DNA sequence: ATAATCACCTGCTCGC
DNA sequence: TGCGAGCAGGTGATTA
């Protein structure tokens, strides 16, 4: 479910309900996520007051004086605010119970998500230390992409989805941004001009920012922290449309596989 | 260093 | 209706 816009939508949805609250209890019904949920999580969190909910890449971070709660939604995770007496359903693995009788509940069928406690400076944690710039920051632009891509033979789509290059560009938005920029996803990253990378960086920013405005892309049952679905899906131009006709030129869209990921493009509009 | 593949896990759709 | 195959929004670990 979650790409960057969905994670950001979640962050915006839950933060107002968490800020200022103290954590009254922690319930872990299934500790086997991507990594084990720490057995001493409650000891770190109970009694602590939440100030803010931050995001770095697709990680959600809740900082405390002694360390940071780090969460990731993986492929199928979602977070929502519930009334504390709502009984947990199947795949409702973790609750952070708040002092106002509500709770933050993690639901994650595939369990690729994570809930970790990081002591001290979270930015030097191995999961975060090597990450590339945020796509919506000024550090990410066409000149940066061009410089990082020289002599790289991997497909530009794989390059764009590499978190060490830039974070937060998942499969949906990589497909969409490459279509918008008119670049074939299987072109070698090192063989694309500066001008075209400038266009690509602009389209990545535009597509992500617009999707965040729409509340993310709802596939299956994603809902933001406020329970509202995302509205971006209806605007997807290529993702999930393999075999259908291009909305710009009517050519049949090609669906292939790059780096094990479903890839859709138009061979007329993208070169 | 870079590129490709594997792995984690459940649920759903498809073809037979 | 049942069953195996393949696929799904991510990304760290492992292998060439």
Chain segment A172-188, per-residue pLDDT in tens: 999 999 999 999 999 99
Please tell me whether any atom of strand C lies within 7 Å of the Cβ of A58: yes
What's A257's domain CATH number?
A: 1.10.8.50
Instruction: Please check the confidence at residue A2 and state whether its pLDDT lies above 90.
Output: no
Nucleotide with the nearest C1' to A219 CA: C9
Whether A116 and A176 map to the same domain: the answer is: no
Q: pLDDT confidence of A1, banded at 50, 70, 90?
A: low
What does the block give as tokens for A16?
């107002």
For the segment A160-174, what is each residue's pLDDT rounded down to a tens digit?
999 999 999 999 999
Whether A156 and A210 map to the same domain: the answer is: yes
* Residue from A158, A156, A211 nearest A2 by CA: A211
Please tell me whether any atom of strand B lies within 7 Å of the Cβ of A260: yes
Whether A159 and A256 map to the same domain: the answer is: yes
The predicted pLDDT at position A243 comes to 93
The predicted pLDDT at position A19 comes to 98
The predicted pLDDT at position A9 comes to 93
Whether A256 and A169 map to the same domain: the answer is: yes
Residue A188 falls inside a structural domain: yes
Nucleotide with the nearest C1' to A162 CA: C11
Q: Which nucleotides along chain B are within 7 A of a protein C-beta?
A: 2-11
Domain boundary among A129, A159, A175: A129
For the segment A80-129, what is each residue's pLDDT rounded down to a tens digit?
999 989 999 999 999 999 999 999 999 999 999 999 999 999 999 999 99
pTM of the model: 0.95
Residue A270 falls inside a structural domain: no
- The integer distance in angstroms from the CA atom of A153 to the C1' atom of B3 is 8
Instruction: Please check the confidence at residue A50 and state whether its pLDDT lies above 70.
Output: yes
The predicted pLDDT at position A230 comes to 65
Please tell me whether any atom of strand B lies within 7 Å of the Cβ of A189: yes
Domain membership of residue A188 as a residue range:
142-265
Q: Which nucleotides along chain C are within 7 A of a protein C-beta?
A: 7-13
Whether A214 and A106 map to the same domain: the answer is: no
Please tell me whether any atom of strand B lies within 7 Å of the Cβ of A150: no
* Residue from A115, A104, A97 nearest A25 by CA: A97
Domain boundary among A129, A153, A185: A129
What's A96's domain CATH number?
A: 3.20.190.10
- The integer distance in angstroms from the CA atom of A255 to the C1' atom of B15 is 20
Q: Return the ∠ at Cα A17 (arms to A86 and A39), rounded to 5°.
A: 65
Q: Which residues of A are catalytic?
A: 2-3, 58, 261
Residue A124 falls inside a structural domain: yes
Domain boundary among A102, A129, A156: A129
Question: In the predicted model, what is the mean pLDDT of chain A?
Answer: 93
């Amino acid at each position: 479910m979650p790409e960057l816009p969905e994670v950001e939508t979640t962050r915006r949805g839950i933060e107002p309900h968490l800020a200022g609250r103290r954590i009254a209890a922690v319930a872990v019904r299934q500790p086997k996520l991507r990594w084990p949920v720490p057995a001493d999580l409650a000891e770190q969190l109970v009694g602590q007051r939440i100030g803010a909910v931050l995001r770095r890449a697709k990680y959600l971070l809740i900082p405390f004086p002694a360390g940071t709660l780090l969460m990731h939604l993986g492929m199928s995770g979602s977070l929502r605010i519930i009334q504390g007496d709502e009984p947990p359903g199947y795949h409702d693995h973790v609750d952070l119970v708040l002092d106002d009788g509500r709770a933050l509940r993690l639901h994650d069928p595939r369990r690729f998500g994570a809930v970790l406690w990081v002591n001290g400076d979270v930015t030097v944690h191995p999961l975060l230390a090597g990450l590339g710039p945020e796509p919506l920051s000024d550090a990410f632009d066409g000149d940066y992409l061009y410089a990082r891509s020289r002599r790289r033979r991997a497909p530009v789509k794989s390059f764009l989805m590499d978190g060490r290059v830039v974070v937060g560009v998942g499969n949906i938005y990589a497909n969409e941004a490459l279509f918008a920029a008119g670049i074939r996803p299987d072109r070698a990253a090192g063989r694309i001009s500066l001008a075209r990378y400038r266009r690509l960086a602009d389209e990545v920013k535009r597509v992500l920012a617009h999707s965040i405005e729409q509340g993310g892309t709802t596939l299956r049952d994603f809902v933001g922290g406020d329970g509202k679905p995302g509205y971006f899906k209806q605007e997807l131009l290529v993702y999930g449309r393999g075999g259908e006709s291009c909305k710009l030129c009517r050519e049949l869209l090609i669906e292939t596989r790059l780096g094990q990921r479903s890839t859709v493009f138009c061979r007329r509009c993208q070169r």
